[in-house]
Amino acid sequence: MSRRGYVLAALMVATVVAAEAGRPTQRIADLKPPIALETQVPKSFGEWQVDESIIPLVPSPDVQARVDALYSQTLARTYRNAAGQRVMLSIAYGSDQSSEVTQVHRPEFCYSAQGFRVRGAGEGAVELESHRLVTQRLVGKLGGRTEPITYWITLDDKVTLPGFGRKVQQMKFGLRGKIPDGMLVRVSSLTDDEAGAFRVQEQFVKALFGSLPADFRPRYFGT
């Protein structure tokens, strides 16, 4: 091998070693009390209670297989208030949110994969007791079904939306050698009244925030 070949080989080895040395190794999920969606998210709070008569949309078998492989836990429920308004809640939790491969998938892609036409409805915000929760709004359509959607994503106790902001947060954790956990929280309604749906969803999110154990609120809603 020529001298140049030896130099290139040495550089390649050094690059691999550096990459391995800089790979995050400490899972934040192992440092904090465990997430347990089924028990931490109450079935009744405020004026809302689970409506057992409504079964949330079930993914196709191939989509469900990918969900099971990607997420540590998932939760899907429908809630109903005294006025008869319904909100569907879906939470997907993953203990490793460090890369594009392991991170939670955006609802835009999940709904499109099931045949929905999805359009953005701008960013929203929910004024919680402790902070302002920034959310993403969508509207999905499939046949005669119209589904206004509100969602947000957490990395540890930081709220982020898809795109550059989430990548920056992932990099910050990686530089500290940490592997963040996180979740996708989505609420949606079946109605053609988009503005009304988003108002009801905001009320639902506020009530849900107040119902969770205080120590776990940052993991679901950020800080």
The CATH number of whichever domain residue 94 belongs to comes to 3.40.1000
Give residue 4's pLDDT band: very low, low, confident or very high (50, 70, 90). low
* pTM of full prediction above 0.85: no
Q: Is 208 exposed, middle or buried (0-12, 13-18, 19+ CB in 10 A)?
A: buried
For residues 87 and 176, the model is more confident at 87
Q: Quick check: 48 pLDDT over 80?
A: yes
Alpha-carbon distance values, 47 to 51, 201, 211, 223 (Å):
12, 13, 11, 25
Q: Is residue 4 part of a domain?
A: no
Q: Is residue 168 part of a domain?
A: yes
Q: Is residue 64 part of a domain?
A: yes
Least confident of 51-55, 119-123, 183-187, 213-217: 51-55
Q: Structural domain tally of the chain? A: 1
Instruction: Give the domain extent around 85.
Output: 25-221
Q: Is residue 129 part of a domain?
A: yes
Find out whether 174 and 24 touch, Cβ atoms under 8 Å: yes
Q: Quick check: 14 pLDDT over 80?
A: no
Q: Is 137 helix (H, G, I), strand (E, B) or coil?
A: strand
With pLDDT > 70 as the criterion, what percentage of the chain qualifies?
A: 78
Tell me the pLDDT tens digit for each residue of 157-210: 888 877 767 677 767 777 888 888 889 999 999 999 999 999 999 999 999 999
Q: Is residue 13 part of a domain?
A: no
Q: Is 133 exposed, middle or buried (0-12, 13-18, 19+ CB in 10 A)?
A: buried
Alpha-carbon distance values, 150 to 9, 197, 201 (Å):
51, 9, 7
- Rounded to the nearest integer, the mean pLDDT of the chain is 84
Q: Is residue 120 part of a domain?
A: yes
Q: Is residue 90 part of a domain?
A: yes
Q: Check residue 9 and give its pLDDT.
A: 52
Q: Is residue 191 part of a domain?
A: yes
Q: Is 62 helix (H, G, I), strand (E, B) or coil?
A: helix
Alpha-carbon distance values, 39 to 2, 34, 35, 71 (Å):
64, 11, 9, 17
Torsion angle, alpha carbons of 136, 142, 145, 151, to 10: -20
